[in-house]
């Protein structure tokens, strides 16, 4: 019996499932090693017992898939840095820590800080491993660059896990990149040493040289940021307004190098090196050259999840084409999926990674069906039909994930794709040519650069115009992981019926549709019956009470109705009615008395509160408050200063009263 008879698709699925299970189950290393060894022995025994059989053995198949699942879980455990004994997080973290490390990545900056990932070499004079997120103040006299050896003396803090309820969890996002802590670096907190000229350094230098080669064209800032994103994967300079326009138009994927871009580049290289097919061993040379160029492009572009996924997949496709394998696409996708997860199992939690695979798989699954709509052999008609149907099927494939992560559906994505995809294709091809000509023949590069500038500005204008139709963007859609799985099951049942259309299978689709509706209403009912109080992580104090399918917001902020955090919280609660009231000194929630102490430091001492919320840097005597009121919990919201928080925290520790500082721990939920 041949192991290859068991398809790579199921092996890839099992490996991915093992990673997901480990992420939530937290099995110990001993458990994972024992189960993997036991399943491996069972696999070997069944393999030799059934190797001469021509038919598949069910038990051998189950042993194989469970072994792969166990190896997936083990892989995640091994790749999570905090399990290493010398990881800094397993050492004593002091109030001030001496850290030495190497700058390995630059992230998108904000108004006050540039952000970097630093790979730790030593932590408090101990040889250590791990990565830190560094917020480097823009007021510092120096700048950091990839390849810098740098020393810090700073306080190490966990990345804030919950900024506000039901908002983007940045801490979880960074955890999936093995980054768990952050430091803020100001003047006199750091020392920049020599540069480490390793492989990453030289790739970064090459990337910078390529980026600077466009300086001669004098592109506008917005145009240059789009070109850098399309060609070199550098999205850090794209302004928030442009990102918002592309998101509302449903084409934000254009700005992140993915399967579309790599497919265009692969086709372009295939055409350029087509002459090698007529040379002896030319096909082999062409395969090697194309794969090397694709991976060089991936390295220069930063090796993001979407780039590595796409280049891996097209490398497998190029190899399959070289072997003249037909119907190789699904195996190529599964192979790339498996290779990437073996290399880095944390990629499975990357949103871009999930969206990329969902879109490609959806296109391939629907392809045999939508090819029936080719009513003309005219190439232009076929291209337009392809563009329409590919966009539609890709959007259907990512729809559940879009609802889960972004809570909105841009209905104008077809109109956007009709213009953006052809224009982006031209910009990408012309950009590669111009990038080459920048170093070879600048006059021709400048001429083509004018065309690129026109195309990018036209694309930006068109997207901005489309995004102005806000009424066509369906926003604030409530969706949960269970609803996401339910919707995917429903979509797959429709695809199954398309491949094998039988009348009785329509009944299955109807049953699944009804089941999805029941799941939706059950989820909504469960949510609406939960009562909770939230102290928000806002600079201006805000407290909400959710009960009786209504959210009551208490705040003195005149702009609170436009607060994004409030809207996202309401969306997660299935958009109930929101009522706004001024912030009171006393609130009641589920038989608990809550007093709010503000800058006036006035409160009724006769009230024995269960919870005290302090705001606006109150000059309250914390010791007297604890002794007279005896609260069960003290909360200090984000409107208080760091020095006040530090003083109050020390007093609460002294009297063993739980203290929750919103600025340090995120929002508070009761």
pLDDT by residue (tens digit) across 492-528? 888 888 888 777 778 888 888 898 899 889 988 888 8
Mean pLDDT for 188-196 is 83
CA–CA separation, 62 and 68 (whole Å): 10
pLDDT score, position 375: 65
Helix (H, G, I), strand (E, B) or coil at 602: coil
Mean pLDDT for 186-198 is 82
**Residue 215: partners with Cβ closer than 8 Å, 6 or more residues away:** none
If pLDDT is split at 50, 70 and 90, which confidence band does 20 have? very high
pLDDT score, position 371: 65
Cβ atoms of 119 and 149 within 8 Å: the answer is no
If pLDDT is split at 50, 70 and 90, which confidence band does 659 have? confident
% of the chain surpassing 90 pLDDT: 9
pLDDT score, position 33: 93
Range in 38-42, 47-51, 192-196, 492-496 the model is least confident about: 47-51
pLDDT score, position 326: 58
pLDDT score, position 1: 38
CA–CA separation, 500 and 666 (whole Å): 51
Residue-wise pLDDT tens digits, 622-641:
888 888 878 888 888 888 88
Mean pLDDT for 213-236 is 83
Between the alpha carbon of residue 662 and those of residues 71, 96, 170, 356, 659, the distances in Å are: 40, 22, 16, 36, 10
**Does 81 score more than 60 pLDDT?**
yes
Mean pLDDT for 409-421 is 82
Nearest to residue 430, comparing CAs of 265, 576, 192?
A: 265
Mean pLDDT for 147-175 is 83
Q: Cα-Cα-Cα-Cα dihedral of 646, 647, 652, 653, to 10°? A: 60
pLDDT score, position 606: 66
**Residue 630: partners with Cβ closer than 8 Å, 6 or more residues away:** 608
**Does 407 score more than 70 pLDDT?**
yes
**Does 401 score more than 80 pLDDT?**
yes
CB-facing half-sphere around the CA of 56: CA atoms within 13 A? 10
pLDDT score, position 609: 82
Cβ atoms of 332 and 363 within 8 Å: the answer is no
Cβ atoms of 356 and 397 within 8 Å: the answer is no
pLDDT score, position 6: 47
If pLDDT is split at 50, 70 and 90, which confidence band does 396 have? confident
% of the chain surpassing 70 pLDDT: 95
Residue-wise pLDDT tens digits, 280-322:
888 888 888 888 988 888 887 777 667 777 788 888 878 877 7
- Contacts made by residues 139-142, CB under 8 angstroms, sequence distance 24+: 139/186, 139/187, 140/185, 140/186, 140/187, 140/190, 141/187, 142/190, 142/192
Mean pLDDT for 394-403 is 86
Range in 185-194, 368-377, 503-512, 579-588 the model is least confident about: 368-377
pLDDT score, position 16: 93
Mean pLDDT for 368-397 is 74
If pLDDT is split at 50, 70 and 90, which confidence band does 54 have? low
pLDDT score, position 53: 66
Give the DSSP letter of residue 302. Answer: T
Q: In what order do the strands lie in the sheet with 542-547?
A: 577-581, 550-555, 542-547, 532-535, 668-669
- Phi, psi angles (nearest 5°) of residue 141: -70, -20
**Does 61 score more than 90 pLDDT?**
no
Residue-wise pLDDT tens digits, 90-137:
888 888 888 898 888 888 887 788 888 889 998 888 898 889 988 888
**Does 2 score more than 70 pLDDT?**
no
Range in 140-154, 363-377, 608-622 the model is least confident about: 363-377
Cα 462 off chain centre by:
27
Burial 192-214 (b: 16+ CB within 10 A, else e): eeeeeeeebbebbeebeebbebb
More confident residue, 216 or 111: 216
pLDDT score, position 444: 92
Domain 532-669, CATH among 3.40.228.10, 3.60.15.10, 3.30.43.10, 3.40.50.300: 3.60.15.10
Fold of the domain spanning 88-196 = OB fold (Dihydrolipoamide Acetyltransferase, E2P) (2.40.50)
Mean pLDDT for 564-576 is 84
**Does 350 score more than 70 pLDDT?**
yes
Arithmetic mean of pLDDT over the chain = 83
pLDDT score, position 325: 65
pLDDT score, position 3: 41
pLDDT score, position 191: 85
**Does 668 score more than 80 pLDDT?**
yes
Residue-wise pLDDT tens digits, 592-615:
888 888 777 666 666 778 888 888
């Amino acid at each position: 019996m041949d192991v290859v008879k068991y398809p790579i698709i199921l092996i890839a699925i099992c490996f991915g499932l093992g990673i997901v299970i480990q992420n939530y189950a937290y099995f110990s290393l001993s458990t994972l090693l024992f189960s993997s060894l036991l399943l491996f022995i069972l696999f070997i025994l069944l393999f030799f017992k059934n190797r001469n059989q021509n038919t598949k053995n069910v038990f051998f198949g189950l042993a194989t898939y469970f072994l792969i699942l166990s190896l997936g879980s083990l892989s995640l455990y091994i790749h999570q840095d905090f399990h290493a004994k010398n990881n800094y997080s397993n050492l004593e973290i002091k109030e001030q820590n001496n850290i030495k490390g190497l700058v390995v990545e630059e992230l998108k900056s904000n108004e006050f800080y540039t952000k970097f990932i630093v790979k730790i070499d030593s932590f408090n004079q101990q040889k250590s491993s791990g990565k830190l997120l560094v917020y480097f103040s823009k007021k510092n006299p120096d700048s950091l660059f990839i390849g810098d050896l740098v020393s810090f003396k700073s306080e190490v803090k966990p990345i804030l896990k919950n900024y506000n309820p039901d908002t983007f969890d940045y801490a979880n996002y960074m955890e999936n990149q093995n980054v768990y802590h952050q430091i803020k670096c100001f003047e006199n907190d750091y020392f920049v040493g020599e540069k480490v000229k390793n492989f990453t350094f030289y790739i970064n230098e090459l990337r910078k040289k390529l980026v600077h080669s466009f300086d001669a064209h004098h592109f506008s800032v917005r145009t240059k940021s789009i070109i850098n994103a399309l060609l070199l994967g550098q999205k850090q300079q794209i302004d928030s307004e442009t990102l918002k326009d592309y998101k509302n138009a449903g084409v934000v994927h254009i700005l992140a190098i993915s399967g579309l871009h790599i497919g265009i580049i692969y086709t372009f290289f295939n055409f350029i090196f087509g002459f090698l097919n007529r040379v002896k061993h030319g096909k082999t040379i062409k395969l090697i050259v194309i794969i090397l160029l694709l991976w060089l492009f991936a390295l220069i572009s930063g090796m993001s999840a979407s780039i590595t996924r796409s280049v891996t997949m097209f490398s497998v496709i190029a190899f399959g084409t070289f072997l003249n394998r037909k119907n190789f696409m699904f195996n190529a996708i599964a192979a790339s999926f498996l290779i990437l997860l073996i290399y880095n199992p944390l990629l499975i939690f990357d949103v871009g990674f999930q969206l990329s695979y969902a879109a490609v798989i959806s296109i391939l699954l629907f392809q045999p069906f939508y090819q029936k709509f080719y009513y003309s052999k005219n190439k232009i008609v076929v291209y337009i039909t392809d563009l329409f149907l590919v966009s539609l099927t890709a959007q259907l494939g990512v729809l559940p994930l879009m609802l889960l992560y972004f809570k909105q559906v841009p209905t104008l994505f077809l109109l956007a794709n009709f213009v953006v995809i052809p224009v982006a294709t031209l910009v990408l091809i012309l950009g590669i040519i111009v990038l080459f000509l920048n170093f070879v023949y600048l006059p021709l590069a400048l001429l083509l650069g004018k065309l690129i500038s026109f195309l990018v500005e036209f694309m930006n204008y068109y997207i901005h115009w489309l995004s102005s139709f806000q009424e066509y963007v369906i926003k604030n859609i409530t969706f949960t992981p269970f609803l996401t799985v339910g919707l995917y099951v429903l979509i797959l049942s429709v695809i199954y019926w398309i491949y094998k259309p039988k009348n009785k299978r329509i009944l299955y689709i109807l049953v699944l549709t009804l089941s999805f509706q029941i799941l939706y209403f059950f989820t909504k009912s469960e949510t609406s019956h939960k009562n909770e109080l939230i102290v928000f992580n806002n600079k201006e104090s805000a407290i909400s009470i959710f009960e009786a399918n209504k959210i009551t917001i208490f705040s003195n902020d005149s702009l609170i109705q436009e607060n994004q955090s409030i809207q996202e919280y309401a969306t997660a609660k299935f958009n109930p009615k929101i009522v706004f009231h001024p912030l009171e000194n006393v609130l009641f929630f589920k038989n608990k008395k809550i007093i709010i102490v503000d800058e006036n430091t006035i409160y009724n001492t006769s009230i024995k509160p269960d919870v005290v919320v302090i705001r606006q840097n109150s000059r309250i005597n914390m010791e007297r408050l604890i002794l007279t009121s005896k609260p069960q919990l003290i909360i200090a919201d984000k409107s208080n200063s760091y020095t006040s928080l530090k003083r109050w925290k020390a007093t609460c520790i002294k009297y063993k009263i739980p203290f929750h500082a919103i600025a340090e721990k995120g929002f508070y939920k009761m």
